[in-house]
């Protein structure tokens, strides 16, 4: 099974997409433990056709962020204790929300998303930055949610931003971002976060938000940046949380 990317790369999905049972074997924990973590929004995953699926690259980054600096704790205890989710309101603002994303190729979409980072002098070499994100997309599409994509660098620590930032983009009519479910993508969340730990926690929190039924439809009704942000924060507040002091 392959997925043909518009920029000319063929992506091997067997190497990237894992099932619940495969993740259970990979982490050496019971499936019910994984399911509990999914319900709490603690592990990056997406439901496709009624089944949970996990991107290997995101799972590996998640494992790394959990194990970094830990020597004594057992892995099962460590992942069960992974409950902190970063608040969206601390990582974005109106200037970082685009409600007029034009449909196009992945490069065209990402170029639009990167513009607020250029305007704010957060990144100084936009062409290089876009290229690195495209290279990550060639591995497997980050359009893993129902109408949502999470473009980012393969290695978050390569980000040069001093403070973590998320750019949100809305393409009202939708665009083909090579989503795993084959459908159009409407919402884009560009993660510009240097810390691997915060990156994975934020990704987990966003996935938890967009798993809510009707979330994408609600955001598509936004007329202004303020509408979009208020709706997003309202959806976040309705999600189960474990520690808001991160």
Asked if residue 15 and residue 39 are part of one domain, the reply reads yes
Q: Average of pLDDT values for 28-32?
A: 86
Q: Average of pLDDT values for 17-36?
A: 87
The CATH number assigned to the domain holding 47 equals: 1.10.1660
Share of the chain above pLDDT 90, in %: 39
Name the domain boundary from 46, 80, 114.
80
pLDDT of residue 64: 62
Asked if residue 74 and residue 22 are part of one domain, the reply reads yes
Asked if residue 131 and residue 219 are part of one domain, the reply reads yes
Structural domain contains residue 66:
yes
Structural domain contains residue 56:
yes
pTM score, whole prediction:
0.68
Structural domain contains residue 95:
yes
Name the domain boundary from 30, 64, 80.
80
With vertex at residue 13, the alpha carbon angle to CA 188 and CA 9, rounded to the nearest 5 degrees, is 75
Torsion of CA 184, 188, 193, 198, to 10 degrees: -80
Asked if residue 95 and residue 7 are part of one domain, the reply reads no
The 3-class SS string of 109-148 reads: HHHHHHHHHHHCCCCCCHHHHHHHHHHHHHHCCCCCECCE
Asked if residue 149 and residue 74 are part of one domain, the reply reads no
- Separation of alpha carbons 158 and 154, rounded Å: 9
Query: What 8-state DSSP symbol labels residue 100?
Result: -
Structural domain contains residue 244:
no
The CATH number assigned to the domain holding 202 equals: 3.40.930.10
Helix (H) or strand (E) holding 157, with range, is none
- Separation of alpha carbons 3 and 138, rounded Å: 10
pLDDT beyond 70 at 5:
no
**Domain limits at 139?**
88-237
pLDDT of residue 97: 97
Structural domain contains residue 43:
yes
Q: What is the pLDDT of residues 83-114, one digit of tens each?
A: 455 678 788 999 999 999 999 999 999 999 99
Asked if residue 71 and residue 101 are part of one domain, the reply reads no
pLDDT beyond 50 at 222:
yes
Structural domain contains residue 246:
no
């Amino acid at each position: 099974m392959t997925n043909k990317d518009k920029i000319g790369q063929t992506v091997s999905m067997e190497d990237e997409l894992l099932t619940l049972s495969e993740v259970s074997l990979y982490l050496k924990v019971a499936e019910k433990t994984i399911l509990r973590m999914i319900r709490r929004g603690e592990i990056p995953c997406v439901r496709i056709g009624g089944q949970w699926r996990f991107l290997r690259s995101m799972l590996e980054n998640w494992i790394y962020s959990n194990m970094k600096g830990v020597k004594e704790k057992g892995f099962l205890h460590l992942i069960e204790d992974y409950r902190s989710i970063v608040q969206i309101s601390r990582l974005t603002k109106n200037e970082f929300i685009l409600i007029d994303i034009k449909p196009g190729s992945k490069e065209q979409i990402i170029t639009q998303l990167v513009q607020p980072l250029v305007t704010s002098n957060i990144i100084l070499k936009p062409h290089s930055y876009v290229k690195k994100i495209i290279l990550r997309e060639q591995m497997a599409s980050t359009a893993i949610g129902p109408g949502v994509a999470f473009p980012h660098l393969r290695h978050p620590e390569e980000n040069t931003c001093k403070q973590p930032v998320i750019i949100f983009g809305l393409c009202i009519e939708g665009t083909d971002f090579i989503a795993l479910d084959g459908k159009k993508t409407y919402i884009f969340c560009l993660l510009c976060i240097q810390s691997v730990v915060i990156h994975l926690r934020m990704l987990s929190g966003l996935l938890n938000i967009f798993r809510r039924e009707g979330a994408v439809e609600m955001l598509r009704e936004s007329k202004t940046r303020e509408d979009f942000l208020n709706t997003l924060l309202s959806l976040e507040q309705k999600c189960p949380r474990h520690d808001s002091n991160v």
